[in-house]
Amino acid sequence: MQEPPATPVARDELALRRHRFFSDLLQAAQNSTEHRVRFDPLGPMVHTGYESSDKEEYLEELLNRLENVTRRLEKVHCAVQTQDTAIQTNILSPKKSTKPDIILNQSINMSIAGYEDLLNGPLKKYLELSQKIGGDVATHSKFVEKAFQIQLQFVQTAANRSAPANQSEQISLLAPMSMQIQQIQEFRERNRGSPFFNHLSAISESIPALGWVAVSPTPAPYIKEMNDAGQFYTNRVLKDWKEKDKMHIDWCKAWIQTLTDLQQYVRQHHTTGLVWGKTSIAPVGIPPPPPPSMPTEDISSVVNDDRSALFAQINQGENITKNLKKVTSDMQTHKNPALRSGPAPFKAPAVTNVTPIKNVLLANVPIDKSPVFTRDGKKWLVEYQKGENLVIDNVEMNNVIYMFRCQDSTLTIKGKVNSIIMDSCRKSSVVFDSLVSSIEFVNCQSVQMQVLGKVPTISIDKTDGCQMYLNTESLNVELITSKSSEMNVMVPKANGDYSEYPVPEQFKTTINQNGLNTTAIDSLG
């Protein structure tokens, strides 16, 4: 059924159509008892058939459905009459037009309905699959469900009030949602030993997408970024459970689809930010006040005075040069050499026994700060350690280890991490299992490294003295060196001993037709 038009003629036509509609329904009810086909206003459906004793019960059920359809049509008719009354009121009193308010309210109602569809769609499927998987995943999903319910309440609150007047009020409104997101992430941190740790991490890394309500003017791309942030762990779930249980694959797809639909919802209803219900709308029909008028006083006299004075100076004729002074012979520098000498240039005082700062390595500067050994998100910070033996365990594949200005210290890393950086360290060493990308030495002096697994790349820059102990799995490593010296690579032998190979520091360059040709010169020592 189409939306009823507002004109009287169209209403009569609609009433005629409604009468025909009910006649067809009654005719279909009679035919269904003979052909055993049940008529549904929402679409035909094959019925299993009724015996003669069930005909009266079936007709009674059909009449109840007809009454429900009638009540729905009456509600639509009342809503149309209300809208017609509002439109007629606007026509009679244009100064108090409420048409923008009607449009805004309709948009807000569609926004709330769209969010409810999101909860009943992919999110519901994600919650059902989480309960089937059970364990920490099921418990974690309860926090996620509550977070979405809190955001639904927030969207409903925003639909019935104006935007916050200040930042403190906005923070108080967002506090429940922020605390719920924090609980979701803290649950992951408390269950690092869980067999479903990748499931928990996938949700925790992408759940900040619910913070789109505080992002403007691009909330939809923000949700896309959060969805991409969690795909690292969803890919690991897909890899681990691909051959074991298809339910986990469906679980990942349901969660990704939830955030994708959330992005589409925000793009449709909140394109440039959260839409608040009550906004200040300028009255229709009242033009803005005119701009202030320009001063009416005559300014031509001032302009004419300046121009007349300028042209009077130019049009003097021969008298224009009478005020110039003649250069005499005693003023000419080529006849008076004494005039050529000027003041002596400034010379800075000589300073002795000062070492240039650029020749002093930061690694040799004494440490005067307190040591640091902490984790900041995905980055481990090991700074200003002196004479310590430190161990880092429970690492993740995307972690980065940053070691800065450590002296006489050893760092052991258990597990596979993304990369390691040693910056301005002296007489220190690092032992690790495996790396995803590389290990870097920058501005170091007398440092060592030992790999127990695999390392793709070793980068050395402005470092004096670097001993690298390799493993059989890392013999295809790539060495990238720059402005460094005393670099040695220890390659393991079959008997467990090591063979030492120095990294070239000298190069020979020749010129040919294609340009320059550079080759390394092996050390003869």
DSSP track, 200-262? HHHHHHHGGGGGGGG--S-HHHHHHHHHHHHHHHHHHHHHHHTTT-HHHHHHHHHHHHHHHHH
pLDDT cut 70: percent of the chain above it:
70
DSSP bridge pairs for 517: 510
Nearest CA to 430 out of 460, 399, 455, 409 is that of 409
| Res. 228 pLDDT band, cuts 50 70 90 | confident
Judged against a pLDDT cut of 80, whether residue 27 lies above it is answered with no
Domains in the chain (CATH in brackets) are 8-97 (no CATH), 103-269 (1.25.40.330), 362-521 (2.160.20.70)
The predicted pLDDT at position 342 comes to 55
What's this model's pTM, rounded to 2 decimal places? 0.39
Tokens, residue 95: 């100064």
CA atoms within a 13 Å half-sphere pointing along the CA-CB vector of 484: 28
DSSP state of 437: E
Q: Which one has a higher pLDDT value, 495 or 382?
A: 382
Question: Is the pLDDT score of 524 beyond 60?
Answer: no
More confident site: 46 or 379 = 379
Q: Kindly report which listed range (54-58, 329-333, 345-349, 435-439) carries the lowest average pLDDT score.
A: 345-349
Higher pLDDT, 269 or 345: 269
The tens digit of pLDDT for each residue in 454-475 reads 999 999 999 999 999 999 999 9
Mean pLDDT of 255-276: 88
C-alpha 101/C-alpha 82 separation (Å) is: 14
In this predicted model, which residue has the larger pLDDT, 121 or 367? 121
Mean pLDDT (whole number) for 303-326? 66
Q: Are 495 and 475 in contact (CB under 8 A)?
A: no
pLDDT at 90 over 60: no
What is the mean pLDDT of the segment spanning 419-424? 94
Mean pLDDT of the chain: 78
Residues whose CB is less than 8 angstroms from the CB of residue 68 and which lie 6 or more positions away in sequence, other chains included: none
Share of the chain above pLDDT 90, in %: 30
**pLDDT top residue among 77 and 13:** 13
| Position 351 pLDDT exceeds 60 | no
pLDDT exceeds cutoff 80 at 366: no
In the predicted structure, residue 416 carries a pLDDT above the cut 90:
yes
Task: Give the per-residue pLDDT at 359.
Answer: 43
Average pLDDT over residues 382-391: 93
pLDDT of residue 108: 61
Query: Residue 355: what pLDDT?
Result: 44
- The span from the CA of 213 to the CA of 155, in Å, is 9
Least confident stretch, 251-265, 294-308, 403-417: 294-308
Please indicate whether residue 107 or residue 319 has the higher confidence score (pLDDT).
319
CA–CA dist 385, 373 (Å, integer): 8
Burial label, 480 (beta-carbon count in 10 A; 0-12, 13-18, 19+): exposed
The residue-averaged pLDDT of 300-311 equals 56
Of residues 59 and 264, more confidence is placed in 264
pLDDT category at 107 given cuts 50, 70, 90 is: low
What's the mean pLDDT in 195-219?
89
* Inter-residue contact 6 to 87 (CB < 8 Å): yes
With 70 as the cut, is the pLDDT of residue 247 above it? yes
Higher-pLDDT residue of 310, 183: 183
Q: Does position 394 have pLDDT exceeding 80, yes or no?
A: yes
Lowest mean pLDDT across 324-338, 374-388, 408-422: 324-338
pLDDT at 168: 82
pLDDT exceeds cutoff 50 at 296: no
The pLDDT value recorded for residue 83 is 55
- Residue 409 pLDDT more than 70? yes
Nearest to 444 by CA among 468, 469, 427, 458: 427
Amino acid 75: pLDDT: 66
When pLDDT is cut at 50, 70 and 90, the band that residue 218 belongs to is confident
The yes-or-no verdict on residue 435 having pLDDT over 90 is: yes
* Burial degree of 224 (CB within 10 A; 0-12, 13-18, 19+): middle
What are the pLDDT digits (tens) for 165-202? Answer: 888 888 888 889 889 999 999 998 888 888 898 899 99
Mean pLDDT value of segment 51-57 = 58
